[in-house]
Every structure is written in C-alpha cells, then in structure tokens.
Amino acid sequence: MRFKCRLIFLISLILLLGAAKPRSAEEMVLQAAFIKNFTRFIEWPKASSLYSDADTFNLCIFDSEPVKDQLSKIFNDRILKKKPVRVMSKSSPEELSGCHLIYIVGTDDRRLQQILNISRKNNILSISFSKGFAEKGVHINFYRNNSRLGYEINKTVFESTGHDISFNLLNYARLVSNDSGTGR
Amino acid sequence: MNIGSIKSKIILIITTVTLLTLAGGFTAITITTYQTNKERLIQDITSEAQLLARYSQGPLAFDVPQELEKVLATTTISYPHSAAVFNANQNLAARNDSGGGIIDVAEGSWSEGTWTEDIEWEEDWILLNLKIEDVDNELLGYIFLKVSTKPFYDQLGNFMLSMILISLLSLFFCFLLAAKLQSYISQPIVELEAISREVSEKKNFAIRARPKSEDEIGSLTRSFNTMLEEIENHQHERDRAENALKSNKKQLEKAVTELKFHANYDSLTSLPNRAVCMDRIQSAIIRADRHDTKAVVMFLDLDHFKDINDSLGHAVGDELLKATSQRLLKIIRQEDTLARLGGDEFVVVLNDIAYSNDVILIAEKIINCFSLTFELNEFKVNTSASLGICFYPDDGKTVDALMKAADTAMYRSKESGRATFYFYEKEMNAIAYRRHEIANELRGAIDANELRLVYQPQVRLTDNKVIGVEALLRWDHPQLGSVSPAEFIPIAENTGLIFPISDWVFRQACSQAKNWREEGYQAFTVAVNLSPLQFRRADLPEWISEILKGNQLTTEWIAIEVTESMLMRNVDQSIQMLEDLKSMGIKISIDDFGTGYSSLNYLRKFPLDALKIDRSFVDDLVKDKDDTAITAAIISMAKKLNLNVVAEGVETEQQRQFLAENHCNSMQGFLISPGISPAEIAELMDKKGNLKSQDKLKKVESI
C-alpha cells in the first residue's frame, strides 16, 4: 500500500504512552483494543466452531492469571465475532482445544510448538508479546519499538492455518516469515 | 412559391415526416442517453464509495482521522464533490471538499435520523450514504458522498444542443432535397394543370397534353386527352346547334316584331290601328282631365271611296288612302294621333284643346286638304271627306261613347251632302255654320261693295284739336247685317282673304287721306291696323310705298298700328321691318298696349312713335286703383322713351281729366266720337278748328 510506512509511524506515535510499563493496565487496554480490531479484520477458517456451535468467543490466556484478570475486566460483556466474550486462563496446551484465540504470555519453545500445533488443529488464532515469536509460528506478535506498540504478522502462518486477513490489518503490520527466512 | 401547390405540399409532407422522425429519434436518443449516463454515473459513484468504504475500514477502526482524510482525497470522481466519514456513533470522523462544499452534518436521508444506505438523485446533487463494515459486517462507521450533477446536465445539454443542430441541419438538407426531388412527382401534374387551365381559359379543346411517364400520371394525361377529344366533339356539335338556334331566334324575333307591328299598326299606311287608336283616346281623356282641357275625336270617311275602288282598282284605292294619310299627318300636331280604323275610315285624336274654335280651324284645314287633286300614278283623282267631331268630356265620358258620338256626327256630314264637317254638339255646328257662311260671303264682299271704312278721330288733350284718325273696317251684309271685324277678321286670316281685304283697306284709307288733303286740310295721320300676316310680308315697305305713290301722298299722312304680339313673334325681324318703315317716314304705333307680353327692354329697341293704351285700362280708370296706377305708369314710362301716348276708348269726362292731368298726349273714344264717315270727320275738323291749308286749298281749287 502506498501509505503503509507512514501509517506505521503514526500508529507507533499513538501507542507511545502505553510503552513505559509492560503489562501495565493502560497497555492491556491498548492491546485489548488491538485484539478487538484484529477480530474485525480476520476471518477464521470455515471449520471453526466460531461459525457453528460455539456460544461464546473463547479468549484463552496461556498461563498468566493476572493478564487473564485484566482482560476479563476489559472484555466483560463485550461482543467479538458476534458472540459474547469468555476469557479463560489455560496452563497446559491440551486444554486449548475449545479456544478461538490464544494470547500467549510466556513460555518456552517446546511448549510454544505444542500450543501452535494444537492451535493449528483447532483453528485458533495465536497472539503473543514476545520477541521472535512471530518468526516461530505465532499469527500476530506485539512488539515495542521506541516506546511504541506495534504488531508483526506472519503471513505464512495465516496462509497455512486458513485465517483470512484483511489488508486493513496488513497496512499497519510489520510482516515477518518463519524462522528459516529473515525476519523482515 | 404557392402555399397550396402540389410542389409545396410534397415538400411539406417530406419535411414534416423528416421533422417528426428526427424529433422522435432525438427524443429517444436523448432519453436513452440520459438514462444510460445517469445509471453509469450512479454506478461509478457507488463503486467509488464502496472503495472508499473499504479503505476507510482500517483508519476508522484504528481511529486515524488524518488517514481517513487522505483516503477521502484519493477519489477518482471527476465531478465536483465532497465526502465525509462518520464513526459508528454517527460523529464526523473525516471530511473532504472537492467542490461540493464542507460537510458538517449528515445530509440526505441520514439527516432524518435513519442511517440507512441509499443513493438519492436530487436536482443539483447526488447524495450517497454507505455503511462501513468489517469482515463480519459489523458496523464501523458511515461514509457520505455528495456529487454535483451540474457537469452531468451540462454534458446532457451539450449533447442535446449538438443533436438539435444536427437535426436542423438534416432538416434543412432534407428540405433542399425535397424541393429538388419533388419535381419528379409534381412536374407532370403541374404541366397537366397548366394545360387544363389553358383549355379552360381559351375554351380551346383542341389542345392536348403530352404524357411523360408510364405511371399513374401518364395514364391520367392520356385519360385527360381522351376527355378533351370528347369535349371537343361535343363542342362542335353544340356550336352547330347553337348557330341553328341563333338563326331561328333571329327569325322568330323578326316575326314577333312584325307581329307586334301588325297588331298595333296598319300595314298599308303604317298608321296606328283601331286598338292603338282606342288607347290614344284613353290617354287623351286622362290628359284632358289632368290639364283641365278638352280632348277631341274626329271621325273621317272618304266620300265615294267605293266608287273609286270599283272604277280604278284597289291599287289606286290603296294609293289614295296612303296619300290621304300623308296630307292629314301634315295638318295635325306631333302630339295628336291619326289612326286608320280600316277601309276608308280614319280617326284624328286631338289633345289638350283649350278653345273649341281652334277645332273649327283644324276641321276646315282637313276638309280643305281634299280640294287639291290627288295624282296617283297616271290617275288624277278628286275626292272629298266627311268629318264628324266630338268633345270630351262634353259629348261622352268613355272611349266608346266618344267614338259613337264622332261616328254619329260624321253621318250627319254625309247626310248634309258630304265634303264637310259636323259637330256632335248642335251649338258648335251653329258656330261652325256661321263661320262657314261668313267665309263664303266674305269672298264676295269687296266686289259687292259691302266693305267700308269709318274713322275715329284722335284729339290732342291740351287743345282738343283733332290730330289724326284711325281707319276702322265695317262690313254690311244684306242678309247677315253688320258683321263685327272681331268675327270676320280671324276668318279672313284663316282663309287667306285677309290679303285682298287688307289691300282694299289700305288703298281705301290712302284714297280718303288724299281726298282730305285735296279738301285742304292740313296733314293729319290716318292710322291703319296691320294684320300679323301683312306685317310678315317681306315686301310690306314696297307695297305701302306703291300705294302712297299712287295717291300722291306723303308718309306724314299715314300711321301704321301693330300689336305687341306681332312684334314679339320674331323680335329681330320686327326691328328690321320697323326700321325700314321708319326710314320711309311712316309713323308706327303699338295698338292695344298693355294686353300683350312685351318686354320694356325690347320696347326701347323698337323704333316706335306712339303707344295706344288699351281700352280695358281706360274703362276702369278712376274706378280701379290698379288700372289707374298702371295707366299713370305707362304714360310716365312712354314719356321717358320719348313716345306719344294715345288713350283708347275714352268715354267719360273724368277719364279725360285724369289723362290730361297725367300728361297723356291724345285720346280717342266715344267721349269725342265713334267711328264716323269721312264727311262727318270733315265736319268735326271744322268744328274743332282744324285749319285748312289755304295754299293747298287754293291749289286744289285752281285745279
């Protein structure tokens, strides 16, 4: 897109305030707003329970109770993908099968791959806030650049999992690919 | 060009059809273009809006108004427009003005509060409202687009203008083409029409039209020629019939004219026949009633006509009738009628007869006109006619009654021995008989010495001296007694006896004057009355001169008296005659002055010596104011003209006194003396002291 670079710069400016303290309350609100917009411009694969029997949009937090509590407050009574949001905390990859979106707070590489495998199988959109996670197979990864909050997207993962992403998200994202290639 | 001609009609039809076709095509194309362009515009705008909506999703979701404004600025809409983006809460997020004006609030259907998607085509603007949604059709915001329609309508207007121009150009070329091509149809018709008009104007059915084509017009031309041929044939037949009719009509008209003539006129003499005669009598009756005059019907029958017919033949008889009609026509006036009833019967109708005595004169003329012998071919025929006369209204009131009366009177003429006339009225017969008798007896009067002259003296009022005498004619007949000149002079004039009588009178008067002179009386005038016939004699001066010479008299002894009416009949001739007489020294007086109609102006021109005031004025002198005044005026006037004035018929001393007082010169009348014999005149002269000329007396005595 012609105005892509400039947009990124602008977005970074907007997100500047929330960059001082990681996982502060303001930053969580900002991330929650991003998450909401991600759901606006991403279509889950047709096989996802999101379009069939699921009664709620299940937002799972991998292994962080405090984040779970913060997001629960933010998404309480909110609607995502036309369904009421249910924020859950999960500590083992096996528990993830009912999730629609997983926010991975912190884990090791082995556990990450387990999570991603299960995510792939269950059409779960994965989001993280850890450097290099996007290259490792997470759909969207938040990052901080000069105190500004940005996000990077691994298009290969999107293509492999069947999640359809709008150009509106790509416009503001830093695109990355799997580990084998360069980050940018 | 003639508006109603076939040429213009063809041109009009072609042009009208073209015009309608063009108009129809123009309308259809315009409507189609409008619709198509409108749909395309709406589609374009809608697509653009949808694109804008998609590009706006991100900036709207991530709340970046500057980006939104940039998105809005990237539209490819070329018309003036404005765009605005509202967020899901219907608050303005971004806007762009590219000629559509700044947008503050939602317009169109959104202004009513219901934010539904739609597109509105208003007069000046197209208003488009579109929702901005995410992938799950969740509402992100709204986009509002406002595009001006002006360029659209401008383009449409330009298109229509060029269409109209092209149409008009096409129409013009179509008109030119029609005007050129119409002659293929109209020319043969126009030529045919021209020929038909030539035929009707010249009435020449021999003209033919030349067929030029094999189409219906060619066929029409041939039919037209055939028709002309038939008309030409009919025309010839009709002309022949018409000529025959004309000649018949002429013959008929001639016959009718002849018939009319025969119905009203006698074919032999061309005089009116009985029917017309009756009509003329009727007209004469009406005229007499209107003018209060009399009408006269004379019935004339030739005497012994049957004998002439039998002895000399009908041809001579017919000639006699014609000659008779010729002679009679010369006697009657233009306004009178001479008609032939048939055989030898004629009728004369006289109109407007005022004096019965005039009829006697005409009757006499008619009887007299037969006294001359008729010379008919080699025959000399003497004949006479019997005349019966009656008057309207005295002798009959109707045409039949008058005819019967005239017929009765005519038979009386026959009975009394023919060659005469009779009135139906006895009294008229007596008058006529007396005239007849006088005329007969007058013929022998001179030879029988029955005529004599008496002289009435004229006395000068100043000294009572006799200055002259007037010679008066007297006729003493042994049986008739003394006949008045008033009665026999008109008869003498009518019968021509006036000439011998006048001659006798003048000679007698001159002879008497000579006697008086010889008796020694000083010259006094002997006045002699001239009759109108005498006055008109061209040799009058010579005649007088000869008689005077014969009696050795000078002109001082003779005066001539004429009447006003005699002078006025032909003024120039009268003046000439008077001057001739005057130059001889003869004195001239106007007799009976005041009874005629002489003009004073003429009186001045006539070389006269004296006026004699008529006795009718003198009679009433003193008694009648008017007559007294007139007499005084006449005397005064005469004096101014240097004329002597003589008063006639003075009978009283008062009259004499009045005349003397008014300076009248002289008088005559019973107061002095009636007409008396020459001896008595001499006696009177002596008594009045008229001196005799001693020298002359002596001379006479010595002779």
State pLDDT tens for residues B661-674: 988 999 999 998 89
User: Does the pLDDT of residue A19 top 60, yes or no?
Assistant: no
Cα within 13 Å of Cα(B646), Cβ side? 26
d(CA A107, CA B337): 176
B177 by DSSP, 3-state: which?
A: helix
Q: Which amino acid is at B3?
A: I
pLDDT of amino acid B505? 92
- Answer for the pair B139, B132: CB distance below 8 angstroms, yes or no: yes
d(CA B371, CA B384): 7
d(CA A48, CA B82): 42
User: Does the pLDDT of residue B700 top 50, yes or no?
Assistant: no
Could you tell me the end-to-end alpha-carbon distance of chain A, in angstroms, rounded to an integer? Answer: 17
Nearest to A37 among B62, B66, B67 (CB): B62
Cα within 13 Å of Cα(B669), Cβ side? 24
At A44, is the pLDDT very low, low, confident or very high (cuts 50, 70, 90)? very high
pLDDT of amino acid B244? 93
Nearest to A166 among B66, B135, B138 (CB): B135
pLDDT digits 0-9 by tens, B132-187: 988 888 888 999 999 999 999 999 999 999 989 998 999 899 889 888 888 888 88
d(CA B182, CA B8): 8
Nearest chain B residue (CA) to A79: B138
**Residues B437-452, mean pLDDT to the nearest whole number:** 87
- Answer for the pair B415, B301: CB distance below 8 angstroms, yes or no: no
ipTM value: 0.77
Q: How many angstroms away from the CA of B45 is the closest CA of chain A?
A: 22
Q: What percent of chain B has pLDDT over 70?
A: 96
CA trace torsion B38, B42, B44, B50 (10° rounding): 180
- Taking all residues of chain B, what is their mean pLDDT, rounded to a whole number? 87
Q: Which amino acid is at B666?
A: S
Task: Look at B330-334, B619-623, B687-691 and tell me which has the smallest mean pLDDT.
Answer: B687-691
B270 by DSSP, 3-state: which?
A: coil
Chain B residues within 8 A of A169 when measuring between CB atoms: 58
At A181, is the pLDDT very low, low, confident or very high (cuts 50, 70, 90)? very low
**Residues B550-564, mean pLDDT to the nearest whole number:** 88
pLDDT of amino acid B599? 63
pLDDT digits 0-9 by tens, A50-101: 888 889 999 999 988 888 988 999 898 888 998 999 999 998 888 898 899 9
B67 and A166: CB-CB below 8 Å?
Answer: no
A69 by DSSP, 3-state: which?
A: helix
3-state SS string for B286-334: HHHHHHCCEEEEEEEEECCHHHHHHHHCHHHHHHHHHHHHHHHHHHCCC
B61 and A40: CB-CB below 8 Å?
Answer: yes
Nearest chain B residue (CA) to A171: B58
Chain B residues within 8 A of A167 when measuring between CB atoms: 58
pLDDT digits 0-9 by tens, B592-641: 887 766 666 777 888 889 989 888 888 888 788 888 888 888 888 888 88
d(CA A67, CA A103): 9
pLDDT digits 0-9 by tens, A4-16: 444 444 454 444 4
Query: In the structure encoding, which two tokens stand for residue B143, read together?
Result: 């986009």
**Residues A126-152, mean pLDDT to the nearest whole number:** 90
**Residues A21-30, mean pLDDT to the nearest whole number:** 72
* B26 or A23, higher pLDDT: B26
d(CA A178, CA A182): 8
pTM: 0.43
State the Cα angle at B447 between B446 and B453, rounded to 5°.
30
* Residues found in chain A: 184
- b/e burial code for range B120-137 (CB count within 10 A of at least 16 → b): eeeeebbbbbbbbbbbbe
pLDDT of amino acid B64? 84
pLDDT of amino acid B693? 53
Chain B residues within 8 A of A43 when measuring between CB atoms: 135-136
Displacement of CA B694 from its chain's centroid (Å): 78
Nearest chain B residue (CA) to A173: B58
- Answer for the pair B171, B133: CB distance below 8 angstroms, yes or no: no
CB B669: neighbour CB atoms within 10 A? 22
Residue with tokens 């009654």: B401
pLDDT digits 0-9 by tens, A96-120: 988 999 999 877 888 999 999 999 9
pLDDT of amino acid A153? 94
Q: What percent of chain B has pLDDT over 90?
A: 26
pLDDT of amino acid A9? 46
d(CA B557, CA B524): 6
Q: Which of B69, B136, B137, B139 to mutate to test the interface with A (most CBs of A within 10 A)?
A: B136
Q: How many angstroms away from the CA of A82 is the closest CA of chain B?
A: 8
Nearest to B57 among A39, A164, A168 (CB): A168
Interface of A with B (CB under 8 A): 3, 7, 10-11, 14, 37, 39-43, 81-82, 164, 166-169, 171-172
pLDDT of amino acid B691? 59
Query: In the structure encoding, which two tokens stand for residue B23, read together?
Result: 């108009």
Backbone angle region of B645, left / alpha / beta, with phi > 0 → left and psi within -120 to 50 → alpha: beta
pLDDT of amino acid B623? 80
CA trace torsion B191, B194, B198, B204 (10° rounding): 40
Nearest to A41 among B66, B67, B135 (CB): B135
Q: Which of B135, B137, B138 to mutate to test the interface with A (most CBs of A within 10 A)?
A: B135
d(CA A114, CA A112): 5
- Which of B371, B391, B367, B360 shows the shortest CA–CA distance to B301? B367
Q: In degrees rounded to 5, what are phi and psi of residue B454?
A: -115, 165
User: Does the pLDDT of residue A18 top 60, yes or no?
Assistant: no
